[in-house]
Structure 1
């Protein structure tokens, strides 16, 4: 049990819902638009996506450690770290951490292979693409999250929005639909916002380690404005989904979940301590969870209707 708890902490499993929500939305879209819902395929998709997400978390920590972004000297900088600390504190060896990380990937990709036999080879391709993005987000030669050109944010939008929604829809129906792409944008943008806002907690440490996130490149003030723009874009994309009929008009009530997060911005200045960004990070996570939960309920209602 202790080892399992260690694994949950090392993989940051507490935030697994940011992956499971878009998977659920994609599968429910198949029920609403096509009248199909295969429970077994849905469960296998959830398992594969969950393990892929845990792999993403661990490979991120592993390469941040190797690249020097996670440092034992982090207490000397005004920063709140989000990694597990298993590598920097020597709780797990790099070898053990690496083995567990790639075991997760192996099982996740196996789920993709099995799904491809039932739904088509795109199920495997989309899963493999998500794994590649997770790896090269921090690993050389691409290191998308280190370049400060917005590539990391695009990678997150794809990995936690477009790919899981479209992939889950494809698994159920064996075909693609542009509506699934549009449906992925509201939840994908909010998940991107979570990852973007979490950089505010340790951007000074990133600066010291040479990790060029957009916050490091732009500075706090400009990055905060862009953070708010991401929130607006999520709301606008939801509105577009209702206008074109992807979601019913009452889907707009999901925007109510964004109001507490919007209010947090009003309490922030152009320059803030790392502690001041904790409500922004927490608000982003809560808003995304509640927003996604509302959309899931709406899709279930539409499916039953």
Structure 2
């Protein structure tokens, strides 16, 4: 098992998303600590961040494992944002090594999960079980069920933010759910746009992604709707005092959002679409980072 192969299959640049999600969940908890005196533990935030990074790595690894085993990795034309890491097809790791690397990640997660269940409360357990189900069954089953994009929004959007919040407070709240919904929309769309180039190969292994079952044009319209929903949600939440006013900083990415929407309809032009995919990654990361910054600034400037 080569170091280069491990780094490749983990897809380290993609883990920035997990880092931001963890910061967002912790930022919501810290804001409520400042506002209400709710519990907050910096050490828990660091450990939860590490756990989320490992969990995201496990998602990437098992996705590569199942794609290599099905033969999909050998049919897909990879881009910097889609088509897998290529670790197995390029001979950097064997398919078996990819599998066992994923198992190692899961084994690392077990003591972290047990620690937080014991320290923060057993109600964290259902969230962790659901997250594990999504990690293991995403590629072999969920992608073949029709409209699988929801699972990315849930597993790499809502659950991480609410989990990162729970480890501090020992409870779920409407405020943490509301704060997590922009992440749901954004990560949902991150997967959706990245599925466009893979549609032709995906259909050969029975996947039923939105670009396959609805067609790329309708999928682009749906992508556009969900992108705009991010900003509508934040504005609504601020107006009704569900999110602090500084989270309106996320509206700074709206012009970029319009660029990505326009680019999503350029799916027949590889160069145009690759640019849109890159812009979408930036949109996903920066928008969530600005929401997190909004919570932090709101906590700092509380009277």
Residues 1:67 and 2:63 aligned together: no
Equivalence for 2:196 = 200
Render the CA deviation track for 1:232-272: whole Å, top value 9, x for unaligned.
11111112221222322242231221322312333554651
Residues 1:37 and 2:35 aligned together: no
Counterpart secondary structure, 2:57: helix
Contact map agreement 1:160 1:188 (CA 8 A) in 2: yes
Equivalence for 1:111 = 112
Instruction: Quote how far apart the aligned CAs of 1:107 are.
Output: 0.6
- Alignment RMSD (CA, Å): 2.2
In 1: Cα distance, 2:135 partner to 2:22 partner: 17
Equivalence for 1:144 = 142
Give 1:44-123 correspondences, 5 Å limit. Answer: 44-71=47-74, 73-74=75-76, 81-123=82-124
Structure 1 pair 204–41 and aligned structure 2 pair: CA distance change class (3 A)? same
Residues 1:260 and 2:256 aligned together: yes
Contact map agreement 2:157 2:187 (CA 8 A) in 1: yes
Give 1:225-304 correspondences, 5 Å limit. Answer: 225-267=221-263, 269=265, 272-304=268-300
Query: TM-score when scaled to structure 2?
Result: 0.90
Instruction: Quote how far apart the aligned CAs of 1:13 are.
Output: 1.6
Counterpart secondary structure, 2:139: coil
Contact map agreement 2:68 2:95 (CA 8 A) in 1: no
Contact map agreement 2:175 2:243 (CA 8 A) in 1: no
In 1: Cα distance, 2:173 partner to 2:278 partner: 33
Give 1:175-190 correspondences, 5 Å limit. Answer: 175-190=171-186
Contact map agreement 1:200 1:274 (CA 8 A) in 2: no
Render the CA deviation track for 1:7-29: whole Å, top value 9, x for unaligned.
22211121112122222212221
Render the CA deviation track for 1:154-199: whole Å, top value 9, x for unaligned.
2111111211111111110111111111110012211111111100
Counterpart secondary structure, 2:73: coil
In 2: Cα distance, 1:206 partner to 1:276 partner: 21
Query: TM-score when scaled to structure 1?
Result: 0.90
Render the CA deviation track for 1:86-123: whole Å, top value 9, x for unaligned.
12233211221111111011112321111111101233
Contact map agreement 2:250 2:287 (CA 8 A) in 1: yes
Contact map agreement 1:18 1:289 (CA 8 A) in 2: yes
Moved over 4 A (4+): 77-81, 267-271
Contact map agreement 1:62 1:98 (CA 8 A) in 2: yes
Structure 2: runs of 5+ lacking an equivalent: none
Structure 1: runs of 5+ lacking an equivalent: none
In 2: Cα distance, 1:190 partner to 1:215 partner: 17
In 2: Cα distance, 1:224 partner to 1:242 partner: 28
Instruction: After superposing the two structures, state which structure 1 stretch, 109-118 or 223-232, moved more.
Output: 109-118
Structure 1 pair 32–212 and aligned structure 2 pair: CA distance change class (3 A)? same
Instruction: Quote how far apart the aligned CAs of 1:273 are.
Output: 3.4
Structure 1 pair 248–100 and aligned structure 2 pair: CA distance change class (3 A)? same
Structure 1 pair 81–32 and aligned structure 2 pair: CA distance change class (3 A)? closer
Equivalence for 1:23 = 22
In 2: Cα distance, 1:276 partner to 1:63 partner: 29
In 1: Cα distance, 2:2 partner to 2:231 partner: 41
Structure 1 pair 266–28 and aligned structure 2 pair: CA distance change class (3 A)? closer
Render the CA deviation track for 1:123-172: whole Å, top value 9, x for unaligned.
34322321211211112xxx111222x2x222111111211111111110
